[in-house]
Amino acid sequence: MKKILIINGPNLNLLGDREKAFYGDTSLERIKTLCVEECVKNNIELEFFQSNHEGELIEKIHSVQNDFSGIIINPAAYTHTSIALLDALRATSKPKIEVHISNIYAREDYRRKSITSEAVNGVICGFGENGYALAIEAMKKLIYSE
């Protein structure tokens, strides 16, 4: 069975409490449950991870090459600022999908540029928690066509 890693960046642990106009009422725990259910349906094993610390996110990305078939990442605010995450993502040849709950291209000017997207196969944004399910479906196609 293929195994994927879903990484969530800073402040996503506050979902459900912060900026509901952008992120809705969903919690990270609800998203995790949705992802587990979607992975079970698709015969994929899942590890779900969140950190507010850039170095921990980088270490987790480094583990992908040996331990996972692919990675889905919501880099959150690091999307727009972190060359270090970009470099870590570039360092793995495994399939990578970037996901965002809100449509980053309909937000503030500084959120409209994704540095990390330069290292991924594709980006899904603006579909709320359903973006994760879409990313899992897309990842399934990537990892089972290898």
Q: Per-residue pLDDT for the chain (146 aa), expressed as one digit of tens each?
A: 999 999 999 989 987 666 656 656 789 999 999 999 999 999 999 999 999 999 999 999 999 999 999 999 999 999 989 999 999 999 999 999 999 998 887 777 766 778 999 999 999 999 999 999 999 999 999 999 86
Domain that holds residue 99: 2-143
Of 23, 80, 110, 132, catalytic = 23
Of 78, 100, 105, 132, catalytic = 100
- pTM for this one? 0.91
78 catalytic per annotation: no
Cα–Cα distance measured from residue 13 to residue 68, given in angstroms and rounded to the nearest whole number: 23
Query: In 3D, which of 95, 91, 79, 88 has the Cα closest to residue 144?
Result: 95
144 catalytic per annotation: no
Q: What is the mean pLDDT of the chain?
A: 91
Run of H or E residues at 130: helix 130-143
At 105 the pLDDT is 76
Q: Kindly report the CATH number assigned to the domain that includes residue 24.
A: 3.40.50.9100
How many separate domains does the chain show?
A: 1
